[in-house]
Amino acid sequence: MTAYQAGRLDEVHALSNRILEHNAGHVGALHLQGLLALASGHAETARSWLERAIQIHPAPIFYNTLYAIQLKLGDFAGAIDSLRQGLAIDPDFAALHYNLALTLQHHDCLDEAAVSYRRTLELDPDNSAAHNNLGRILGDLGALDEAERHYRRALEVTPANLIARNNLAMVLLATGRYEAAWPYFEDRWISFRRADGTPAREPVQVPLPRWTGADLRHGIGRRAGRVPYERLLVLDEQGYGDSLQFVRYLPLLLRCFPLVGYVCPPALRRLYEQSLCSRWPGIRLLDAVPAELNDWDCYCPLMSLPMAFHTQVETIPAELPYLHADPKQAAIWRARLAALPTRYLPRVGVVWAGGHSGIAVDRLRSLTFAQIAPLLAPAHIHWISLQKTDDPSKRANSTGTACADPNTNSTPLTDWTADLADFADTAALIANLDLVISVDTSVAHLAAAMDKPVWLLNRFAGCWRWLQGRDDSPWYPGLRLFTQPRRGDWDDVLTRVARALQQRFPHAGTPLQSPR
């Protein structure tokens, strides 16, 4: 086992074979063979070795290894059963309790997972990972005070636990303690996910000095030769919604820098050109991080700008709109909408599902079309789909319910999203709407940044940016939150939205007296 732990797998293989030649029932050697097979990617073979070892001697450690093999094979029920069998032999085996909790948490069995984490901590009080994971469960269940206590304990035990630092940032931000939160938020990169859900655990950075908020134009942090920093490169990070929320800081940077570059996602470029660059010539958009950085003096990640500006809830820059549609594009959509028989009805855009289906949180923030469909049934509103997705299951017709023919509006939902190539196109359509109702995704940020009324369908214990216990947002004064009262309860949310729609549009269907 010492050779295995040291990574000398060839030596382990030779030794275990030699042992089994003399004693075919040596459970230690059988266990090692299973570990080797698992490490080599042969999970079925590994399971056979472990089952042989357990048949001879059902030790808890063998059940723990069998659990790992069964997880690899996708046998969730078998993995749980192996852990429980191991615990039946040794109820005080802390690693089995931890693995049981971790697996239950991964499969969203939060209450059961919390019980197992608490038992883990009774046996192993200084288990930093268990404190962090229990904190995450408590946060997901809305118990933020208790979650914070476990995150802080995780950091007392292991100060380098970056996952706990990031999770603590989420609690501090959600409770409005921004000044305390931003330094912990600098470790957010540990939880970054790519579009397919895989981790991308590297901070965005370039080999330039990092700007942290000093007013460099007044001589602080000068380079060699007493030349002040004047050109800041802002690096994009995370998703479209994050970019749409935080580009509000780019114009503020021009107070410190004559030139601000932003590495801009392609889908946002045209929108930002017409909204930001046309108004502030000092903002320059780049398609990628330049291969040569000689044109730039320093850099800052986009989502570090709130910390650089010492942002607190009361000082969030929320002057709207800071994004807008191109007037000519908006006029084209206005004409298309005016040509429909429903031109007198209120126009409400709707998004019922987020993007990035590989990310676990997407399941929590998204509704199916079958869930949202009853809201769209009343005929006194013209619903406009803003649902863009590469996942067919999220489309309106995935349930067999057809969208409207955009020329006849034969059903309540008109879908022109195939004509929306980027966010500039989406903005042009949104410019002609009276209201946008959306789950927590990029379209909500876009519409809110355009100062359109937005009703956000918010999951229980949702994203930090919406704060705890509020139905409004200091980030977007025109945004209204409809938050789940219980985890997963969209029925209550949709009931309240339907009631609010009736109040907002009590005379829907009456011809409008003024042109849009």
pLDDT of residue 410: 47
Burial pattern 477-509, b for ≥16 Cβ within 10 A else e, equals ebbbbbbbeeeeebeebbebbeeebeeebeebe
- For residue 208, count other CB atoms closer than 10 A to its CB: 16
Cβ-count burial of 294 within 10 angstroms (0-12 exposed, 13-18 middle, 19+ buried)? exposed
Higher pLDDT, 348 or 380: 348
Separation CA 344–CA 154 (nearest Å): 58
pTM: 0.89
pLDDT exceeds 70 at position 275: yes
Separation CA 497–CA 483 (nearest Å): 10
pLDDT digits (tens, 9 = 90+) for 216-249: 444 434 443 334 689 999 999 989 999 999 999 9
pLDDT exceeds 70 at position 406: no
Percent of the chain scoring above 90 in pLDDT = 78
pLDDT of residue 408: 45
pLDDT of residue 407: 47
pLDDT exceeds 90 at position 9: no
- For residue 204, count other CB atoms closer than 10 A to its CB: 19
pLDDT of residue 151: 98
pLDDT digits (tens, 9 = 90+) for 34-55: 999 999 899 999 999 999 999 9
pLDDT exceeds 70 at position 358: no
The torsion of the CA quartet 449, 452, 457, 461, rounded to 10 degrees, works out to: 40
Separation CA 177–CA 150 (nearest Å): 18
Task: Taking residues 164-178, report their average pLDDT.
Answer: 98
Under the banding of pLDDT at 50, 70 and 90, the label for residue 506 is confident
pLDDT digits (tens, 9 = 90+) for 309-341: 999 999 999 999 999 999 999 999 999 999 998
pLDDT of residue 379: 80
pLDDT digits (tens, 9 = 90+) for 111-142: 999 999 999 999 999 999 999 999 999 999 99
Task: Taking residues 391-416, report their average pLDDT.
Answer: 62
pLDDT of residue 16: 83
Separation CA 437–CA 440 (nearest Å): 10
Show the tokens assigned to 408: 């006849």
CA distances from 144 to 175, 440, 488 (A): 8, 20, 18
β-sheet bridge partners, residue 283:
260
Tell me, what DSSP letter sits at residue 381?
A: S
Higher pLDDT, 207 or 196: 207
pLDDT digits (tens, 9 = 90+) for 427-455: 999 999 999 999 999 999 999 999 999 99
CA distances from 429 to 18, 106, 215, 248 (A): 72, 39, 39, 21
pLDDT of residue 280: 97
Percent of the chain scoring above 70 in pLDDT = 88
- Is there a contact between 482 and 472 (Cβ–Cβ < 8 Å)? no
pLDDT of residue 500: 97
CA-nearest of 500, 464, 460 to 483 is 460
pLDDT of residue 443: 98
- Is there a contact between 429 and 384 (Cβ–Cβ < 8 Å)? yes
Separation CA 317–CA 476 (nearest Å): 9
Give the mean pLDDT of the chain.
Answer: 90
CA-nearest of 151, 143, 77, 131 to 107 is 77
Q: Which domains does the chain have, with CATH numbers?
A: 2-191 (1.25.40.10), 216-315 (no CATH), 327-504 (3.40.50.2000)
